[in-house]
Amino acid sequence: MSTFSPTITEPKPRMGGGGGGPVSRFPGGGGGGGRGDDSPDFGETLRRYRLGLAVGLAAVLMLFVSFTSAYIVRQGLGTWDAQTQTYVNDWRPLSLPMGLLMMNTLFILAASFTIEMARRTAFQAAVMAPVVAIPGIAAEKRSPAPWLPLTLLLGFAFLIGQWMAWKELARRGFYLASNPSSSFFYVLTGMHGLHLIGGLIALLYAATIVAFRTRALERKRIIVDITAWYWHFMALLWLYIFALLKFEA
Amino acid sequence: MGLALLLVIWVITFVSSYFFAAHTWWLPPLASATGGAIDAQFNRTFLAMGVVFVAAQAGLGLFVWKYRDRSGTRVEYSHGNTRLEVIWTTLTAILFLGLAAFGAEIWAAERFVPAEPGALAVEATGMQFAWYFRYPGKDGKYGRTLAENVDPSAGAEAAIGLDTTDPTAKDDVVTSTMVVPVNRQVDLTLRSVDVIHSFFVPAMRFKQDAVPGLMIHMHFTPAKEGDYEVACAELCGLGHYKMRAVLRVVSQAEFDNWMAQRVAEKQ
Amino acid sequence: MSNSNGHGAGAAVAHAHAAPTGFIRKYIFSKDHKVIGLQYYFLALTAVWVGMILSLFMRIHLVWPNVPIPLFGEIKPETYLTLLTMHGTIMVFFVLTTAPQGGFGNYVLPIQIGAPDMAFPTLNMLSFWVTFLAFVALIAAFFVAGGAPLGGWTAYAPLSAIPLAGPGQGAGMDLWITSIALFCIASLLGALNFITTTLDLRAKGMTLMRMPLTCWSWFVTAILGLLAFGVLLAAGVLLLLDRNLGTSFFVPGGLNVSGVVIKHKGGSPLLWQHLFWFFGHPEVYIAILPGMGVTSQILSTFARKPIFGYKAMVYAMMAIGILGFVVWGHHMFMSGMSPYSAFAFSIMTMAIGVPSAIKTFNWLGTLWKGKIRFVSPMLFAIGFVSLFVSGGLSGPFLAQPALDIPLHDTFFVVAHFHLIMGVAAIFGIFAATYYWFPKMFGRMMNESLGRIHFFITFIGTYAIFMPMHYEGLAGRPRRYSSLDVVQFLHPMKPLELFITVAAILTIAAQFVFLFNLFWSMFKGKKASDNPWEATTLEWTTATPPPHDNFGGKVPVVNNGPYEYGVPGVARDYVMQTDPPVPAAKH
């Protein structure tokens, strides 16, 4: 993914401590320093938020690495069985509700697609904005596809589908405490779902901001960009979890 | 101020080192065959670390006094000395990894090998808050124990949940004192009924956690007759401090006698 | 723009908020890293007093068990274990992981790298308040039915997983886990902020290799936290499930606790230990690294010499950080873990002693041929070195599994970690307090009181913790509420008395610090912008700093952080923003 290259309007960032008088370099009040659409710190702001997200996702990754290692250890574990006076392994493979899980996988991948479209649309809007702002230029007015609301819908569909998968598993007799394999199924999918709900909240926020609030387009772009990457991560994470659970079975 | 610091640091170093060297409070006298190697490694490590301790603290004290701000002195501006860094890093690495290598040999000798064929089998069961010891009897097999049968109020056998319907359990002897013959390796099996405990006999230089869900095999060889206290060394609840037992090391003849009495009591 | 050279901070700021008005925005829900830093600091100050009182009660109980404590009553055996558990938890999390990083890191890092604030100020505010909530949840454990938990701060399963296993293991334990989980989340958010800030907000000229060692320490600490706290969170989630929803991650089958057959099956107590210590070991480096950074900073400042071997110090911190992730098994030598794993962990643990030794050599090298000024922060930094040596040298004993056999879970271990965490790291906090107090509050702390505080605390803590080595060698196990039953403990009673008396005197001396701290805030001598004649960026700006740290002027860095005693320069220090020094190598 190419980073935003500020060739059009971004003036060279002012360096050094000299320069003019006591001009406040640190934007006070308002978004983007109130400098309007061509705020020179936009590219760096985006990079900073992306960096923050990447760092944060490393932490989320460690959470799932921990669950994975617990999963692997537990799967191979033997504990002492008094009756037989031997070590036994009590792991019973799950019968996964594959239909539901595949459907959910499609939902989350589709959501990744739609939010990626939203991200690129926001990119283009931000790039075009200064051009469109030039008096006399009228851009083709096309109402953009509702990518963000679509993602929201798909995200909800995924969650509901997961809930249905849980119910199906329970119907087959696998509850949280039935067997270590089912415990891990609920833990892994549950924790993923929890983080996904966080993503939905971010998505709601992004969709609201984009649709209704007046903000600099660059700021909207950052919000959508970060939300999009988070969602891609959630999709990848789901693929990993699904593969882990499937492979074990 | 520099002088005060030097004196305080040096006095603290001297006093602490004195009590270490004088063995005022020290490891108890050794009573096991395997512990000798541990003690030797201990002394090696102690000597090495002791020298470093005294040198570092003495150096620190000396420097803060010698290099105090006095008129007429100049600072020696320097960002470091790479050669020196390499030298002392290498020396430190050799020291630490050398000690580790020595220690690893001792660990391997004791823990990488199973018990000898003729070792005496004893099982130690930890529970909140007592130890029980079981001898497998003539058949050499430990009988089955079940969580449902655990009842400390009904005697030692019930305390460990012995399943009396199991034929191999019939000759199991369960006691609350661990009696073993001297100079014979003990093949100790550790288990727990509830939470993690730890079987610790300082005089034998022996310690091992008793983990519920696991049957852990360890071995040691008592080398001196006498009574040795067993203390629990893993927090197990309210009565952790009073979970005490006695390891009694006696002559082979005495042991046989004692065992015969226990077997007779069972009839 | 290449990252390593920094970039104009003015152009790079993502956040945008004017100086806040109103009491709530300025002091309660503030996004200003300086206010948040102080909030963390005062939270830690409260926590440390609670933790100290708990340990005082413990010491009194061990030596005078039947004497009732005023306002508290007699301490029963289960209370002792509760005090112990909460003491450890409060100190490790709410003092040692809070004050050095959350407190000083938050306050000083942005200023020292020339930034107007942290990368994400709102997130920063959130981190603090979640930490505060975590503290409230923890203290609440004292007041629920059954009281606070008694499984130690390590909360080994099954003791921590089965409510029946002891008083306090019910609701109290659930609150404990909740508190820790909240703390994990807050710490992860904080780590995110620190890392992003350090990588992205440095002023022009502030290359990574020109950062003060304090910044490096906060940076490495944040990375450790980022990768470790998620593991603890995972463990906590699994433990909560075992306790409340019948899963069996940590609880094996076939247990009988207090006459009740437990229905769990097949879990592993060792799994808890692995997860906990995978977090727990990096945690102790999180607790000590900032103290190391501060010590380097202060030793250099007051010896009027550059730090000896800046690059080696940076690499040593990184090595400690990386190795810190592969040594966790040394807490488990006796656990029933494979003896082969024990061997591997042992080698790695001995290896981690090497970078620690390098740092010690370099601190001594910094003092060598310096011109030492014995102000309070310097006293505590010197104390840190001494205590770190003492505490560190018991490490190689414990790192060898064969020697760990007699020493594991004895007071030898208690001595080891208290000298490093419970004293050296605390000295790091004291040193930082005395050092940055003038910048934070615009006034100087009282020097005489500082000296009294230092000497009593330095001698007192040695008196408390040195004898614990002897007790451990003689076999005294940890977490015993009484020495009466096991007879080989009786000869240690005089040592116990000595330790308790030393503890009482040392705790009393902390009132001197507390008085000095608060009195000086209002009545201390007014401080100049750079009372210590130090070189780093926080000393270039006003005292206390304005809301955006530099009053609108972006600093440009030309020098390394420790240019003291530069030959050919009139003053004996060159600030980082001064014109480039000819002798400066980086």
Closest to A237 in 3D by CA, of A96, A151, A118, A109? A109
Q: Name the minimum distance, in Å, from the CA of B178 to any CA of chain A.
A: 23
Q: What is the pLDDT of residues C505-533, one digit of tens each?
A: 999 999 999 999 999 999 999 999 999 99
What is the SS3 assignment for C245?
A: coil
pLDDT reading at C14 higher than 60: no
pLDDT mean over C536-565: 94
Residue C105 clears pLDDT 80, i.e. is over it: yes
pLDDT > 70 fraction of chain A, expressed in percent and rounded: 80
pLDDT at A139: 62
Break chain B into its structural domains and give their ranges: 2-68+80-111, 120-266
Tell me what pLDDT residue C109 has. 98
Share of chain B above pLDDT 90, in %: 88
The H or E element containing residue A87 is strand A86-88
Quick one: average pLDDT of C464-471? 97
Average pLDDT of span C539-560: 93
Among B34, B47, B74, B79, most C C-beta atoms within 10 A, so best to mutate, is B79
* Strand-strand pairing, B178-181 and B244-250: parallel
- Name the residue in chain C with its Cα closest to that of B83: C309
pLDDT at C46 exceeding the cut of 90 = yes
Phi–psi pair at A96, nearest 5 degrees: -75, 140
Which amino acid is located at C394 in the chain? Answer: S
Residue A183 lies in a domain: yes
- pLDDT tens for C225-243 read 999 999 999 999 999 999 9
Tell me the residues of chain B between 109 and 128 that have a Cβ less than 8 Å away from chain A: none
pLDDT of residue C166: 85
B27/C474 Cβ within 8 A:
yes
Q: Sort out which chain B residues have CB atoms less than 8 A from C447's CB and list them.
A: none
What confidence score (pLDDT) does residue A1 get? Answer: 37
Please give the pLDDT value at position C142: 93
Cis, bond preceding C120 (omega within 30 deg of 0): no
pLDDT of residue A49 exceeding 50: yes
**With an 8 Å Cβ cutoff, is B215 touching chain A?**
yes
Three-state SS annotation for chain B: CHHHHHHHHHHHHHHHHHHHHCCCCCCCCCCECCHHHHHHHHHHHHHHHHHHHHHHHHHHHHHHHHCECCCCCCCCCCCCCHHHHHHHHHHHHHHHHHHHHHHHHHHHHHHCCCCCCCCEEEEEEEECCEEEEEECCCCCCCCCECHHHCCHHHCHHHHCCECCCCHHHCCCEEECCEEEECCCCEEEEEEECCCCEEEEEHHHCEEEEECCCCCEEEEECECCCEEEEEEECCCCCCCHHHCEEEEEEECHHHHHHHHHHHHHHHC
Provide, rounded to the nearest whole percent, the portion of chain B with pLDDT above 70: 100
pLDDT of residue C2: 39
What's the pLDDT band for A12 if we cut at 50, 70, 90? very low
- Is the model's pLDDT at A5 over the cut of 80? no
Confidence of residue C146 (pLDDT cuts 50, 70, 90): confident
A159, part of any domain: yes
Burial environment of residue A14 by CB neighbours within 10 A (0 to 12, 13 to 18, 19 or more)? middle
In a domain, A109, yes or no: yes
pLDDT of residue B114: 93
Q: CA-CA distance, C557 to C9, in Å (whole number)?
A: 12
A-facing residues of C in 527-556 (CB < 8 A) are 548, 551-556
Residue in C375, C218, C385, C368 with CA at minimum distance from that of residue C295: C385
**Which chain C residues in 209-228 lie under 8 Å from chain A, judged by CB atoms?**
226-228
Mean per-residue pLDDT over chain A, rounded: 80
In a domain, A19, yes or no: no
* C111 close to A (CB below 8 A): no
Averaged pLDDT, B198-224: 95
CATH of domain B120-266: 2.60.40.420
Question: Nearest-CA neighbor of C101 among C19, C183, C26?
Answer: C183
Structure tokens at C496: 């116990």
Integer Cα distance of B206 and B6 in angstroms: 41
Of A79, A82, A85, the CB nearest to B147: A82
Cβ atoms < 10 Å from Cβ of B72: 4
User: Tell me: the pLDDT tens digits for C305-350?
Assistant: 999 999 999 999 999 999 999 999 999 999 999 999 999 999 999 9
What is the per-residue pLDDT for C69?
A: 84
Distance of CA B248 to the CA centre of its chain: 17
Tell me if chain A has a CB within 8 Å of the CB of C267.
yes
DSSP C19: P
Cβ neighbors of B209 (< 8 A, separation 6 or more) are: B190, B196, B197, B198, B199, B216, B233, B234, C334, C335, C336
Q: For chain C, what is the mean pLDDT?
A: 93
Confidence of residue A31 (pLDDT cuts 50, 70, 90): very low
Interface confidence, given as ipTM, is: 0.96
Q: Is residue A122 part of a domain?
A: yes
Kind of pairing between the strands at B186-192 and B120-127: parallel
Whole-angstrom distance between the N-terminal and C-terminal Cα of chain A?
36
Task: Categorize the per-residue pLDDT at A134 as very low, low, confident or very high, splitting at 50, 70 and 90.
Answer: confident
Q: Is the dihedral of CA C98, C104, C108, C109 positive or negative?
A: negative
Helix (H, G, I), strand (E, B) or coil at C64: coil
* pLDDT band, residue A21 (cuts 50/70/90): very low
> Which pLDDT value is given to residue C37?
97
Identify the pLDDT of residue B248. Answer: 97
Structural domains counted in chain A: 1
Comparing CA positions, the residue from B214, A1, B64 lying closest to residue C386 is B64
Question: What mean pLDDT do residues C466-480 have?
Answer: 97
Q: pLDDT class for A33, splitting at 50, 70, 90?
A: very low
pLDDT-derived band at A141, boundaries 50, 70, 90: low
On whether the CB atoms of residues C567 and B77 are closer than 8 A, the answer is yes
Angle at C349 between CA C346 and CA C353, to 5 degrees: 140
pLDDT of residue A143: 63
CA atoms in the 13 A half-sphere facing the CB of B244: 17
Q: Which residue segment(s) compose the domain that A240 sits in?
A: 39-248
- The answer to whether C462 and C383 have CB atoms below 8 angstroms apart is no
Instruction: Chain C: give the shortest CA distance to residue A138, in Å.
Output: 31
Does A28 have pLDDT greater than 50? no
Residue A23 lies in a domain: no
pLDDT digits (tens, 9 = 90+) for A195-204: 999 999 998 9
Q: Which residue of B has its CA nearest to A83?
A: B144
Predicted local distance difference test score (pLDDT) of residue A16: 38
Neighbours of chain B (3+ CB pairs under 8 A): A, C
Please report whether residue A66 resides in a domain. Answer: yes
Residues A93-99 have a mean pLDDT of: 91
The CATH number for A146's domain is 1.20.120.80
- Other residues' Cβ atoms within 10 Å of the Cβ of residue C313: 24
Give C361's contacts in chain B (Cβ within 8 Å): 85, 88
Chain C residues inside the 8 Å CB shell of B38: 402-403, 405-406
A83 touches chain B (CB under 8 A): yes
pLDDT value of position A131: 76
CB crowding C559-585: b at 16 or more within 10 Å, else e: bbbbbbbbeebeebbbbbbbeebebbe
Is residue B228 pLDDT above 70, yes or no? Answer: yes
What single DSSP character describes residue C91? I
Average pLDDT rounded to a whole number, residues C109-116: 97
Q: Residue A7 pLDDT > 60, yes or no?
A: no
Between C229 and A147, the more confident residue is: C229
B60 in contact with chain C, both atoms CB, cutoff 8 A: yes
| Domain annotation covers residue A4 | no
Burial of B128 (0-12, 13-18, 19+ CB in 10 A): buried
> Of B104-108, C157-161, C426-430, where does the model show the most confidence?
C426-430
Residues of B in contact with A85 (CB under 8 A): 142, 144
Q: How far is CA B36 from the centre of its chain?
A: 13
**Six token digits for residue B50:** 């002791």
- Size of chain A, expressed as the number of residues it contains: 249
Contacts of B82 (CB under 8 A, 6+ apart): C309
